Structure formats: structure tokens, C-alpha cells
A and B are shown apart, each in its own frame.
Chain A
Amino acid sequence: MSAATKVFVLIVLCVLCGYSFASLVAQGGPDRTKPPALGAAPHLNLQQIQKRMLSNGLPVWVIEVHEVPLVQVNMLVKAGADDDPAGKFGLASLTAAMLDEGAGSRNSLQIADEVEFLGAVLTTSSTFDASAVRLNVPVSRLRNALPLMADVVLRPTFPEDELNRLRQERLTALLQAKDDPASVAPLAFARTVFGAMHRYGTAASGTEATLKGFTVADLRSFHSSTYQPTNATLIVVGDVTADAAVPLLESQFGSWKGTAAVSRRPVPQANQLAQGQITIVDMPGAEQSQIRIGWVGVPRSTPDYFRLEVLNTILGGSFTSRLNQNLREEHQYTYGAGSRFDMRLSSGPFFASAGVQTDKTSEALREFFNELNGISKPIAAEELSKAKNYIALSFPSEFETNGDLSSHLEELIVYNLPDNYFATYVDNIQAVMSAAVQKAAATYIQPKRFAVVVVGDRKVIEPGIKAQNLGPIRVMSVDEAIGQ
């Protein structure tokens, strides 16, 4: 064990500066003709990240937060759906889900009983880019909970009957997804943009065909090849000191030995769409149409990250964004509209989305394209500064709970972000210039080449969609959308 780098993260916010407060005691009521001036924006003094290491080389990152007697311990593993072998889409997700269905000497029910009795929450899950076992426990019971967590991470038993149970549960969840337009829409969009062969064209949890094929041997093989100390990091946030936590972790995880070097094959960059296309998924009788519009976006490592954060906040990433103001506040076609760059290790999707009332589907599409086309025009200084301030000034509130802090540390690790990432975040946002946003928009928002997916009542919405002339229309079945 050795103490490694200590990083001090200090975030200084001083963006709206320098006004003194108006007189607090007013005669005849306060002056309401203009909003009160804001004082200097506050600083966030983030606790230092203490970087340690167990005797087997497993890194441990600790942030001490002595507020509520709880502690969060996450084992982050750099393997996810990205690493699913061809023909076995869904393996990483099912492997993670199976970790607590039998581990060490305990069966599924015993693990659940002991975890709950401690007042703890233990979750096992996986995304495209990573898997994690996360423990949240009253600090007085950390010592009792860690052996359970260690069994779940290191010694899962993958019982056959539990695999069959989870398989049926997931197949049934797929069946249920077909009932729900809001579940079908993202799957149909992913399939349209990335296709059946690319990993991002299929849900992280897999398809009916892959789920039916998984064996205990598949799970064991994925676990043993990816859950290794050289491929994992322990994150501890909460009411403990690093000096007290590390020996406890050493006793549970220090003897974990790797078996082989883990080499991660990157997910290939998807082919970009060349021309506009419309896909309708028919849900007869639907009261709303679920709309997704977009194409292949960017990876998390994009050098345009901060420009795109600002760009998307203006376009569809906040309540006052253009899409929401237009489709909700001005036209009332929807309860809410937005957009997002889903950034992963490889380029995930960019999409704009809303659920709109069925009889306004084509009008809503027209307004979506008005805003998507309009975003590449020069952006007014006031709109730009509103977006930058919204991102920069709300940044400290993203570090409030143990869970918030631990997920930010996970982000640093999964995406190899620099140690000073949080300390420089606000400056990086404030440095974004109007011309850079405009250039990013021209590159990443090209509506003529976007895929449009509409999940709704085809006989009512198709004539109006056709009249918009956005590209050739094809009809996708619900089964195809969910990968059957």
C-alpha cells in the first residue's frame, strides 16, 4: 500500500461579479422594476481526492465527506456493452445483473437479506462503457457490508437457475417494452442510425435471440476476462477517513489477483448518415407520437466537448432552450422537448426528442427542423451568456451528495479525464465563444442528413409527415425496433 498523488481540486466561481446589495430596508416596499443584482458567485471548495493503492495495485480514490453517517463504495470496472462479443449483445449487462444472484458461500436470497438487514443498498449494473458494483451503507455497518460486496465482485457463482430466472425476466421486459411508445422510440432510433451490426444499434441489455442463447459459461468467461484489479478502481465517498477505509478495503480486496492483461478493443466509429430518412413505427390508437431526430454524434473524448455542452444547452438542454420554448411554450404540441449528445467511448447518438399530440405530428416536425436549421446561425450574446452561466454556475450543486461525488469520479476514470478536469471546468465553459458554437453547429447539426423516427398512429400521421418532404419513408415493425 502506498499513498499516491494527492490532488486538490478547487473550483473558483466568480462570473457575475461585483455588485453590492441594494438597501435591505426599503421605504414603501422594495423596487420591483428590475430584479435584484446578484452578488459575486460563490466558490466551491471541493474536498481533495486522496489517491491510494492496495497491495495488489488496485487503485482506491477517496473523498471524505463528514456530514451524514453514510458511505458510498463503488467498484468500477472498465468493461461494458462495448465489450460484448459479436453475436452476444447483452452479455456485459447480464453478467453485471447476475453478480448478486449468488456469490461466495451465499445464495441470492441470503445476499439480499444480509444487505437489507444492514440498511445498505447494493446494486450491480452496466452501461455501454463500464460496469459497477455500488454499495451505500450507514458508516457504522461498513465493516459488515464490505465482505458481501467483495463476494459479489470477486466470487459470483452464476447459478444456472438464477440465470434462467433473470433471462425470463428480461425477455418479459422486452415484451413489455413493445407496449410503450416511449420505450420503442429510442430503440427504433438506435437501430435506424447504427444498424443491427454496430453495438450501439442494439440495446445494452441485448435482444430476444441473444438472451435466449446465454450460458453460465458465457457469464463466467466475461467476468474472468474483464473483472480484474488492473481494470478496476475503488471509489470511496462519505463519512470515513482514507486511513480508516483503506485497511478495511485491503482486507477484502487486497488479495485479488489478476489473471491476464485486459486489452479493450475500441468500439468502431459508426458510419455517418448520408441523407435524410423517415421511419414510422405504427402504434395504432396512440394519443401521442414519440419523435426522435438525429444521427451519429461524438465520442466523450471530442475536443469540441465544451462547445457542444453550450450548443446543446441553447438548442434543447434546458427549460428555456429553443426546442422547448418553441414546441412547448409557443405551440403547446408537447409537455416537453429537448436534445442531447449521448457521448460514449465511441460516438453515440445525437438526438432531439419529444412526445407530441398525434394530430400535431407534422406541425411538430416542421418546428423541430426550424430550430435544428436555425442553430447554425450566429447566436446572440445574451443567449450565449445565459447558457454558459446556467452550466457554469449550477456546477457546484452537482457535488452535493456522496452519490453525486462518486459518479463524477467514475466519469474521470472511465473517460480518462485529467485530474484538474473539475477545477478547470467552469473556465472551459466560460471560454466558449459564439463563433466556435456556430462552427460546432455546422459540423454536428446537419438536419438534411438526419434520421427521423416517429412512433405513433400511422394512419393518422403518415399523410402529414409525407407532406413535409424530409426524405423517403419506411415503416419499421415494433419487433424490428426492439431487435427481434
Chain B
Amino acid sequence: MRVLVVLVLALLAVPLGAQSPTPQIQVPYRQFTLANGLNVILHQDSSVPAVSVNVWYHVGSANEKPGRTGFAHLFEHLMFEGSKNVKEGVFDTLLESAGGNNNGSTTNDRTNYFEDVPSNALELALYLESDRMGYLLDTMTPQRVDGQRDVVKNERRQSYENQPYGMASIEISKLLWPANHPYNWPTIGYMEDLTAASHSDVVEFFKKYYAPNNASLVIAGDIDLDRTRTLVEKWFNEVPRGAPVEPIAPPAATLTGVQKKTLTDRVSLPRLYLAWLTPRFYAPGDAALDVVSSVLTGGKNSRLYKRLVYDTQIAQDVSAFQQSAALGSEFQIIATARRGHTAAELQKAIDEELEKLKRDPPDAREVQRAINQYEASFYRRIERVSGKADQLNAYYFAGAGPDFFAEDLARYTSISPSDVQAAALRWLPADRRVELIVEPGEKK
């Protein structure tokens, strides 16, 4: 079954605005839990003969211990290197031979893995996922850890050290979050901590976090629901339950003043970063801050883009975003100065625009334009089975029902101009934030 979209009004040429029809998005699913605690969500969509198998382990860099930053991500790499019944290299070889693609990713909060396969290779994907969930350590060696350690160090060099402005995001986390808060360090980790990671760390981490009761499996695509449930039980039932994982108890995170810093880098133009601590995902204010980001930098008519990039042309680019996460979010504004202009000029203009937004609510059209974009983006996101699978797991992880699409969309469609103003006023104070500037110079 595809996503059911029920259009309330007829097609074509409807008036836009508050009275515009809101289609109801539904993603029907079947959910059950195995005896070992593995949460399973199935969704049928037969548009192409393919299946997406998507596993979230509820562990991310926020679970790391001091001196081992980057470990959750290094561990993710090791999950592809073989398990008891799958020799090194065979994981990818089997999937490619079946026409499948696979990958994984790690954030502060979670680690995900997916296999996108033709529908006849569903059981192969379940075999591979269950083998590494149950038996990863059987063939793990210090040499494997060494190998992926060096690959991850090159990932870091490519994405941070050798990337213009690449070190800025690492610095912002340090300035924004207290030293003992788990969002203080980068998911990629510090080089010295990657060097220190050991085989015994892998054993400990696997036993603590990679149990079925700390994971959620979504299978979406061209499947038979009953047969798929049988296959899941066949391959995952024997994986033993682990000890319950204690939730993270982070220290309070608040800024009491402005955290200022200037870095230099091998770049031609100065760049300004402003960052604030904001409400965690799905909390009141989270969606309103998304709309604030649209009002500020979404499209040519947005306030900061129009002023900095379009009218005065003192900036090459400007962007703003609410980066939502489980323990707390960040709101950032980033702008790059044109030649002959300074980060200080950008900051002055940005602050003037922020003050305007705090003083008066935006026009109804500014907000409706943003909401209409969010609404359309919901449909674009569910065009792909793999996108739906990951979103079902994301909603489940956040504590909502897996099919939270309609409610999530309603978080945006219900926002008023005064909500946007209130969010800017409440969450983006000029005197409690991070101000980071990257100036041209030596990299340091």
C-alpha cells in the first residue's frame, strides 16, 4: 500500500492561505516487539519492487565517555567489516551482487544502518543485519579496529581539516555546550581519542549499546506483511536481550553571556557564525524556530538574504537553521562576507534584522510562504521508500507513534506570525549566544 493522501478539496486552482486544504498524510504500519525487546515496524509500498531495511541503534556520540570521542562513529564503520558468519568484505559483496546499496550514519543521538535492496533480497538483508546484531564480536580483532581507525581519520581530514571553514562547527559545539555536556564534542571525534580507541572499547560498547532492546527495525517497501514478520522472527529471535540502557542525564546547558572567538583558516573571505541553545526536538518552539529560519534566510525575499546578499551585497551567502536533537537544539546563522567587507558589518546588519523580528510579528504572507514550503517538502520526503523508513524510525525514536507525519505537519501549519516573533524573542537573545568568526590566515 502506498501512502494514503486524501485531498479534501478538488484539484487545481485552489485559493491559498489559511483556508488552503491540508491533505492528510498517512503512512500505515504494523508494529510489534520481539521477546528480546527489538521494536519492529513494517510498512508496505509496492511502487517499485524494492525494500528498505532500516535499523536505528539508540546510541550516538552523546553516549561516549571522556577520552573516547568519535567512538560511536568509529564503531559504525566496524559494523561493515564482518561478523561471525559473514567474512570481512562479504557484507558488501553479497549486497552488491544482489543489486543492493547500503550505508550507515552516526549523529549525537543515534546510529542508523540501511540496506536498499530488490524485494527478492529482503531475507539477505535480514540475515546480514541480524548476524552483526548478534555476533559482531566473534570475529572482531584489533587489526580491524586499526584499519577503520585510519579510514575514519581520513574521513575527518577530508571533511574538517582539509575543508575550508571545516573546523568551525567543532569550535561552535565547544563554545555552546558546557564541557561536561555530551554535545560539547564532535561526532567525528578528536584525533587523539581516535588514536586511543581499542579493541576492548569495542567489546564494551557493543555489549552495552548494541542489544536488540536498544534498537528499532523498520522494513518498508514491496513486502508481504505476514511473511516479513515471520522472516524477522526467524533471524532476530535468537539475538539475546541486553541490559537496559540508562537514559543520558545531561547537565543543564545555558549560556549566561556572549562566547566570542576568532579562528583563522586558509580561506579568502571572512565568515561569521552566530549560535544559540534552543528547545529540543518536537518541544514547544522547535517548529517555530524552523519558520524563523525560513523568514530569515529561506529564499530571495527572506529578510537576511534580501538585505545582505541581494540588496547591499555585502555577503556572498547567508543561511539559518534549527538543528534539532534529543537533548537540546542549536539555532545557527552563518554568513560569508564579500571581498572588502567584514564579519562585523554582517553581524551589525543581522542583529538589526533580528531586533526587527523581535519587535514586530512578520507579515502573514511571509509566514504562509514558509508553511507552504514545509507542507510540500513533507510530500517530497515520502516519495522514496528509504526516506519513509528512516522517518518512521525517527518518529519512533522521538517517542511519537511511527506515523507522526500528519501531526508533525500540523506543528507547522498551526504557526502564526506572533508565534514566530515570540520564538525569536524568547530563544535568540543578543546577549547569550556564540559569536565565532573565521578570518583569512594560517589554519589554526
* A288 interface residue (CB < 8 Å to B): yes
Q: In the complex, what residue of chain A is closest to B116 when comparing beta carbons?
A: A397
Q: Is A396's CB under 8 angstroms from B48's CB?
A: yes
CA distance A136 to B98 in the complex (A): 33
Alpha-carbon gap, A140 to B86, bound state (A)? 50
A480 interface residue (CB < 8 Å to B)? no
On whether A116 and B373 interact (CB within 8 A), knowing A32-B127, A355-B162, the answer reads yes
Q: CB of A394 within 8 A of chain B? A: yes
The residue of chain A having its C-beta at the shortest distance from the C-beta of B126 within the complex is A36
Chain A proximity of B283: nearest CB distance (Å): 26
**B145-170 near A? 1/0 per residue, CB < 8 Å:** 00100110111011101111000000
Shortest CB-to-CB span from B288 to chain A, Å, is: 19
Q: Which B255-287 residues have a C-beta within 8 angstroms of A? A: 266-269
Residues of B within 8 A of A117 (CB): 16, 365, 368-369, 372
Which one of B12, B116, B158 contacts A140 once the chains associate, using CB atoms below 8 Å? B12
Within 8 A of B (CB), among A103-131: 108-109, 112-113, 116-121
When each residue 1-25 of chain B gets 1 if its CB lies under 8 Å from chain A and 0 otherwise, what string results? 0110101010111101000010100
User: Are B306's CB and A109's CB within 8 A?
Assistant: yes
A294: interface (CB < 8 Å): no
Given contacts A29-B238, A137-B376, A397-B116, contact A67 B124 (CB under 8 A): no
Mark each residue of chain A from 347 to 361: 1 if its CB lies under 8 Å from any CB of chain B, else 0: 000000001110000
Task: Known contacts A175-B268, A389-B98, A396-B48; decide if A118 and B151 are in contact (CB<8 Å).
Answer: no
The answer to whether B268 touches A181, judged by C-beta atoms less than 8 angstroms apart, is no
User: Given that A32-B84, A68-B383, A287-B161 are known contacts, is A389 also in contact with B48, CB under 8 Å in the complex?
Assistant: no
Judged by a CB distance under 8 angstroms, whether A377 is at the interface is: no
Take A24-B231, A319-B92 as given contacts and tell me if A393 and B118 are in contact as well, using a CB distance cutoff of 8 Å: yes
B58 within 8 A of A: no
Q: A179-B268, A393-B98 are in contact. Are A118 and B372 (CB under 8 A)?
A: yes
Q: Of A109, A112, A396, which one neighbours B118 at CB under 8 angstroms?
A: A396
Cα of A29 to Cα of B338 in the assembled complex, Å: 64
Complexed CA–CA distance, A265 and B87 (Å)? 54
CA separation between A85 and B200, bound complex, in Å? 64
| Those of A247-283 within 8 Å (CB) of chain B | 283
Which chain B residues in 27-85 approach chain A with CB under 8 Å? 47-50, 84-85
Alpha-carbon gap, A318 to B379, bound state (A): 30
How many A residues, CB 8 Å from partner? 89
The distance in angstroms between the C-alpha atoms of A38 and B128, with both chains bound, is 13
Candidates A42, A138, A334; contact of B120 at CB < 8 Å: A42
B365: chain A residues within 8 A (beta carbon): 113, 117
Decide if B379 touches A69 in the complex (CB within 8 Å): yes
A35 contact from B9, B124, B301, B382, Cβ within 8 A: B124
Determine whether the beta carbon of A136 is less than 8 Å from that of B121: no
Task: Give Cα distance in the complex from A168 to B72, angstroms.
Answer: 43
**Which one, B13, B86, B147, B164, contacts A332 given CB within 8 A?**
B147
CB of A169 within 8 A of chain B? yes
Interface status of A87 (Cβ within 8 A of chain B)? no
Q: Please pick, from A35, A333, A391, the residue contacting B127 in the complex, using a CB distance under 8 A.
A: A35
Known contacts A41-B120, A165-B310, A328-B151; decide if A68 and B94 are in contact (CB<8 Å).
Answer: no
* Alpha-carbon separation in the docked complex, A25 to B230 (Å): 8
Bound-state CA distance A119–B16 (Å) is: 10
Looking across the interface, which residue of chain B has its beta carbon closest to that of A399?
B48
Q: Would you call A435 an interface residue if the criterion is a C-beta within 8 Å of the partner chain's C-beta atoms?
A: no
Interface size on B, residues (CB 8 A): 91
Interface membership of A320, Cβ < 8 A: yes
Which of B50, B135, B161 has a CB less than 8 Å from the CB of A400?
Answer: B50
Enumerate A402-419 residues with CB–CB distance to B below 8 Å: 402-403
Distance, CA A7 to CA B434, complexed state (A): 59
In the complex, what distance in Å separates the CA atom of A217 from the CA atom of B307? Answer: 28
Rounded to whole angstroms, the CA-CA distance of A325 and B80 in the bound complex is 13
| Cα distance, A369 to B221, chains bound together (Å) | 42
Q: Which residues of A (38-71) have their CB < 8 Å from a CB of B?
A: 38-44, 65, 67-70
**Cα distance A168–B317 in the bound complex, in angstroms:** 12
Contacts of B266 in A (CB 8 A): 179, 283, 285
Contact, CB under 8 Å: B154 / A143: no
Would you call B93 an interface residue if the criterion is a C-beta within 8 Å of the partner chain's C-beta atoms? yes
Q: Which parts of B333-351 form the interface with A (CB within 8 Å)? A: 336, 338-339
Per the bound structure, the CA–CA distance linking A329 and B90 in Å amounts to 13
What is the CB-to-nearest-CB distance from B4 to chain A, in angstroms, rounded to a whole number? Answer: 10
In the docked arrangement, what's the CA distance between A400 and B48, Å?
6
Interface membership of chain A positions 172-214, coded 1 if the CB is closer than 8 angstroms to chain B and 0 otherwise = 1101101111100000000000000000000000000000000
Nearest-CB distance from B356 to chain A (Å)?
18
Q: Which of B305-336 contact A (CB under 8 A)?
A: 306, 310, 313, 316, 336
New A-B contacts (12) at CB < 8 Å, excluding given A117-B369, A180-B164 = A21-B123, A32-B84, A35-B94, A38-B124, A68-B383, A136-B376, A140-B13, A140-B14, A169-B316, A175-B269, A287-B157, A333-B154
Q: List 26 A-B contacts (CB under 8 A).
A: A24-B227, A24-B230, A25-B234, A26-B234, A38-B121, A42-B49, A42-B222, A67-B2, A69-B7, A70-B383, A113-B299, A119-B375, A165-B310, A175-B268, A176-B316, A178-B268, A285-B266, A286-B162, A320-B93, A334-B154, A335-B154, A355-B162, A393-B98, A394-B99, A397-B118, A401-B383
Ranked 9 nearest A-B pairs via Cβ:
A393-B99, A42-B49, A119-B376, A332-B150, A119-B372, A112-B300, A287-B161, A394-B99, A179-B164
Chain B residues within CB distance 8 Å of chain A: 2-3, 5, 7, 9, 11-14, 16, 21, 23, 47-50, 84-86, 89, 92-94, 96-101, 116, 118-121, 123-124, 127-128, 131, 135, 147, 150-151, 153-155, 157-159, 161-164, 222, 227, 230-231, 234-235, 237-238, 266-269, 298-301, 306, 310, 313, 316, 336, 338-339, 365, 368-369, 372-373, 375-376, 379-380, 382-385, 442-443
